[in-house]
Amino acid sequence: MSITTIEQKDLIKKIDELRKKKNAILLAHYYQRGEIQDIADVVGDSLELARKAQQTNADIIVFAGVRFMAETAKILNPEKKVLHPNPESGCPMADMATYEGVKKLKEQYPDAAVVAYVNTNADVKTLADVIVTSRNAVKVVKALPEDKIIFIPDQFLGSFIAKQVPEKEFILWKGFCPPHFNLSKEQLLQLKKQYPNAKIAVHPECNTDTVEIADFVGSTSQIIKYATTCDTDTVIIGTEVGLKHWLEKLNPNKNYVFPQTADYCGTVHCCDMKKNTLDKILSVLESEENEIILPEDIMEKAKKPLERMLQIV
């Protein structure tokens, strides 16, 4: 349940007036703060948000997510103004794959297709043959003619795909998502003792040991669909805690258990996703600052693998 304070009500009223006046749309990822999810025009996983960004008629897209998501919206819509409420909201995993490093790997394996997770920075996307999200990765990789795949930057999503596409050879970049990596299989098994009838649903960014004991592995929106409709009352959720808000909104009759972890936030928590706030959204709508600006050539080159993904799925 979300509680809206008087200050928040005031902020929301001003955001509503401005987005109407400026023909702006607010897109939000499921890991955003609950109060942002509540007022967004669309809440979704990275694939749904990329599609929405491609289809919108709005003049301004305010993107409440991490930077690579806002960049993706801009690359797909170069003529639109894309505003990022907090430019400091980046993705540590995306930063683990550098342009120079990926270029070197590509030269080392010239017959391999470079498959880049959407969680990459725009310059790195220019080196990719195709982009994937956690929702469509297996399908996209299967559809490629190449037998050898360089997968960047998430080694765990890469391993998850490799298991399902055993006929191809994978070269994995050693990146990882810090919040998901920190979730151990023991933490989930401990909860399973407490709730023996519960099902376990996790994101493929979790480490391989954790993924192996799950009943279901999928993207954020796939986890939502599974958890709200599966046949158990309790579902143990192995992903970022922001998902709880949407799960409880969609189906409040179930018990969604988020594990306690050993990291400093005590749960699977993406600090970067939480850097966007209602007042920052209002501020960019007023000032139109923090616009995503990318060099023309990077946008052109990065658009090709993104569009290829959207054509496949």
Q: Which listed range, 13-21, 90-98, 184-192, 193-201, lies at the site for ligand SF4 (CB under 6 A)?
A: 90-98
Separation in Å, CA 251 to CA 199, 216, 224, 243, 256: 16, 18, 10, 12, 10
Pairing of β 234-238 and β 169-172: unpaired
One residue of 50, 53, 243, 273 binding ligand SF4 per CB under 6 A:
273
Stretch near ligand SF4 under the rule CB under 6 A, chosen from 32-40, 225-233, 270-278, 301-309: 270-278
Task: Determine if 87 is a binding residue for ligand SF4 (CB under 6 A).
Answer: no
Burial degree of 253 (CB within 10 A; 0-12, 13-18, 19+)? exposed
Q: Out of ligand 13P, ligand SF4, none, which partner does residue 272 contact, by CB within 5 to 8 A per kind?
A: ligand SF4
From residue 95, give the alpha-carbon distance in Å to each of 44, 92, 186, 199: 23, 5, 29, 33
Using the rule CB under 6 A, is 66 a contact of ligand SF4? yes
Asked if 46 touches ligand 13P (CB under 6 A), the answer is yes
92: partner contacted, choices ligand 13P, ligand SF4, none (Cβ within 5-8 A by kind): ligand SF4
Name the minimum Å distance from CB 206 to ligand 13P: 10
66: closest CA among 137, 123, 119, 128? Answer: 119
Judged by CB under 6 A, the stretch of 5-13, 74-82, 131-139, 275-283 that binds ligand 13P is 131-139
List 63's β-bridge partners, or say none. 27
Is residue 133 near ligand 13P by the rule CB under 6 A?
Answer: yes
Q: Distance between CA 43 and CA 110 in Å, rounded?
A: 39
| Min dist. Cβ of residue 232 to ligand SF4 (A) | 25
Subset of residues 215 to 254 that bind ligand SF4, contact rule: CB under 6 A: 240
Give yes or no for residue 71 binding ligand 13P (CB under 6 A).
no
Query: Closest CB to ligand SF4 among 34 and 92?
Result: 92
Q: Which of 89, 220, 228, 290 binds ligand 13P (CB under 6 A)?
A: 220
Only segment of 128-136, 158-166, 173-181, 230-238 that touches ligand SF4 (CB under 6 A): 173-181
**Interface residue list for ligand 13P (CB under 6 A):** 45-46, 119, 133-135, 177, 205, 219-220
**Interface residue list for ligand SF4 (CB under 6 A):** 66, 91-93, 119, 177-180, 205, 240, 270, 272-273
